[in-house]
Structure 1
Amino acid sequence: MPLIIYLFFFVFFIVHSHSELSRIKVDPNTQYFIDEYGRVRIFHGVNVVYKLPPFLPNLTHFDPQNSLTNDDLNNLHQWGFNVIRFYTSWMGVNPTSDNNINQEYLLQLSTAIQMMENKGIYALLDCHQDVFSRYFCGEGVPDWIAEKLGDA
């Protein structure tokens, strides 16, 4: 099964496995976020990105630059934030060419999402790339894919 299908099912599972927060959809006519009661939802959020292994912020110990602990989430909630654009890494999910999925990364990602939900904060999973891979001063595809394409 192609990796993109695995990723689709993974994201689908993450989004639909947590149900404490009301479901949100985008109205195709207005482009507004609408909750399950038909109300327009306004989001105020932050970006949480950690682009180096392990591709996740520290979830247990506070770090002024690279953590997302319960204390961090409590502060964000108290300050009125209700969404986090949360970076997810293809390199974190599929770090090696043997097509093994990094279950520990997925478990930690799921833990982070559950922590956000417990504080009433939505997670917007963002698996983006910048300049293809870190070989080009960015990130995106795993190293083994960039190396394979470089040899082609």
Structure 2
Amino acid sequence: MTSIKGPISFDQHGNFLDSSGRVVQLKGINVDGGCKFPQTPYLPSYVPLGKGEEEEEEGDSIFFDGDNVSFVGRPWPLKDVEYHINRLKSMGFNTIRYIITWEALEHAGPGVYDMEFIEYTIEVLKIIHNIGGVFIYLDPHQDVWSRFSGGDGAPMWTLYAAGFDP
């Protein structure tokens, strides 16, 4: 696979072009749906929370503690980024749709940014850039509203701000 160097542009027909004017065919993959859920605490969607109305288990209280989460480690631990990118390149992919949710950036409240997550994301993107040959589409992702209302994206505090009591 030929590695594309330099910036890409587009023509009047919507084709992406490399620095020599050749059409670039993007072959992409989504990385990764798991980015919609916190890495910590780890609460996979297939594990039920609580035992019922009478007994609240730890999972229930952890799930609804939307302020104290971390997305650091999504989509991969830093030590694994090179392996996964090279594996994707070996399969012919040259484009990655990289999901970032609002909750990952600002879960603790309006204007309270998770700098550890931001720095982690920058490190992942630097590793991918240094490997080369992969375009990144940053997807500021949101489905429905929030994982607390059956979707993903918006932080818990936005539900309270809208007058809901999750």
TM-score, scaled relative to structure 1: 0.72
- 1:97 maps to a residue whose letter is G
Q: Is 1:129 the equivalent of 2:142? A: yes
Q: Which has the larger radius of gyration?
A: 2
1:15 is matched with which residue?
none
> Matched residues in 1 for 2:118 and 2:18: separation?
27
8 A contact 2:36–2:153 mirrored in 1: no
> Matched residues in 1 for 2:23 and 2:128: separation?
21
Assess, with a 3 A threshold, how the Cα gap between structure 1 residues 127 and 35 changes in structure 2: closer, same or farther.
same
Q: Is 1:59 the equivalent of 2:43? A: no
CA drift of 1:113 comes to 1.1
> Matched residues in 2 for 1:42 and 1:122: separation?
11
> Matched residues in 2 for 1:22 and 1:108: separation?
25
Please, which runs of 5 or more residues in structure 1 have no aligned partner? 1-19, 62-67
- 2:155 maps to a residue whose letter is P
After superposition, the C-alpha distances for 1:20-60 in whole angstroms (9 at most, x for unaligned) are 95212333x21111223322111112111211113322224
CA RMSD in angstroms, aligned pairs only: 2.2
Structure with more of its chain in helix, by fraction:
1
> Sequence identity, in percent?
30
Please, which runs of 5 or more residues in structure 2 have no aligned partner? 39-69
- 1:14-25 equivalent positions in 2, closer than 5 A: 21-25=5-9
CA drift of 1:151 comes to 4.4
- 1:144 maps to a residue whose letter is W
Q: Which moved more, 1:120-129 or 1:31-40?
A: 31-40
Q: Secondary structure at the match of 1:88?
A: strand
8 A contact 2:82–2:127 mirrored in 1: yes
CA drift of 1:89 comes to 1.5
What is the number of residues matched between the two proteins?
Answer: 126
8 A contact 1:73–1:116 mirrored in 2: yes
> Matched residues in 1 for 2:15 and 2:142: separation?
26
- 1:109 maps to a residue whose letter is T
> Matched residues in 1 for 2:30 and 2:21: separation?
27
1:79 is matched with which residue?
91
